[in-house]
Copies of this chain bind each other. A is one copy, B any other.
């Protein structure tokens, strides 16, 4: 059996919905990928009774407990205080931590304030992770159960989790069974369709478990295997991968940490091709995604956000007559945009999108969600028409994703000859 971990997120911002959790979700992902079983995630407000009861219950149910948040200097940060009371370990001053906080404030020219002193008082007998200001995580063992207390600042939480907590947990693990998982990111198939094609791969004995998770606009498939040895788990995953690829084909965009834009970047780099983009309704989102990949300047030359008609004519040479006769959201305009961006940027590929993201601007002939996507290459051009549902943000995302996925599929199809 794998080690059971419970995660507790402390903070009014979580229970009032002011902040969407970034910590517990991240920790759950990292712990699961190492084969630990996260049995519960709980968010509670900064209130003594709730924190106390959550700590006690988690300690009874789980093999290890991870707590984030409530370690800062403001009034509502009471985690350390409640831990002290709950586990009967009086607060003690941590001199090293206090010094670090002083240095931090001095560097930023901030005055010392008693609220900072508070951050340096921690329960007796704890072990400190990285004595850094705003990020002083600590560890204690209570009745044989390890409790990890991490700061709520996501970057610091992640650093301590990855560098200190997970290595500590891995040391202790009773390694009878190995769990490993792979994730496939799928675009263009509905969840029931994926389910229909794959469900017979699942094994009742728990050795192969499939999970389906919508992650707009992708669907994610998780394949979790259990085996007695790491190499057997890997063999099983490889075998399943061949099967899954046969059944799902190029609807698989990527696997594990790959993203559509990182996969696309690899394909362009391998082929020594460059891409430029002309965006209307997506407003820059396609360029933003492409440039999320380090080194994207190797294949991404430029992006134009041509929101006005004049910009389409000035920057891409779209003839005013086409805009007048066909409208800015039309097949002809999309094609002219793609050809224009390709020629003017002297890139190998020119991608263009134009559409109506709403909520205004729709007509009976061209309702909100109407989108044209066009791609131009040295060998010709292609164009597609879509009608996407949802709100402005979703239409932007569907348009940007579909457009980049078009380029991916086009590059994968080595025999492609553009034709209309």
Q: Give the interface of A toward B (CB within 8 A).
A: 11-22, 24-32, 38-45, 50, 72-76, 108, 110, 113, 115-116, 152-155, 181, 183, 190-193, 195-196, 199, 202, 211-216, 220, 222, 277, 279, 281-292, 294-297, 300-308, 310-311, 314-315, 344-345, 357-360, 390, 392-394, 396
Contact among B21, B41, B357 with A25 in the assembled complex (CB-CB below 8 Å): B21
Expressed in whole angstroms, the Cα–Cα distance for A32 and B288 within the complex equals 34
Contact among B216, B220, B296 with A18 in the assembled complex (CB-CB below 8 Å): B220
Instruction: Name 19 A/B residue pairs within 8 A (Cβ), A-sorted.
Output: A18-B29, A18-B32, A39-B50, A41-B44, A42-B42, A76-B211, A283-B288, A283-B290, A284-B285, A287-B305, A292-B396, A294-B358, A296-B307, A297-B308, A301-B308, A302-B305, A302-B306, A303-B305, A304-B315
Chain B residues whose C-beta falls within 8 Å of the C-beta of A213 in the assembled complex:
11, 13, 18-19
Interface contact B45-A16, CB-CB below 8 Å: no
Interface contact A14-B42, CB-CB below 8 Å: no
Chain B residues whose C-beta falls within 8 Å of the C-beta of A27 in the assembled complex:
17
Q: Measured between C-beta atoms, what is the minimum distance from A328 to chain B in Å?
A: 10
Interface contact B306-A311, CB-CB below 8 Å: no
Chain B residues whose C-beta falls within 8 Å of the C-beta of A315 in the assembled complex:
302, 304, 315
Interface contact A305-B307, CB-CB below 8 Å: no
Interface contact B41-A15, CB-CB below 8 Å: yes
Q: Measured between C-beta atoms, what is the minimum distance from A254 to chain B in Å?
A: 14
Expressed in whole angstroms, the Cα–Cα distance for A290 and B279 within the complex equals 13
Chain B residues whose C-beta falls within 8 Å of the C-beta of A303 in the assembled complex:
283-284, 303-305, 307
Interface contact A192-B292, CB-CB below 8 Å: no
Chain B residues whose C-beta falls within 8 Å of the C-beta of A181 in the assembled complex:
16
Contact among B40, B110, B283, B300 with A43 in the assembled complex (CB-CB below 8 Å): B40
Expressed in whole angstroms, the Cα–Cα distance for A310 and B277 within the complex equals 15
Q: Measured between C-beta atoms, what is the minimum distance from A150 to chain B in Å?
A: 15
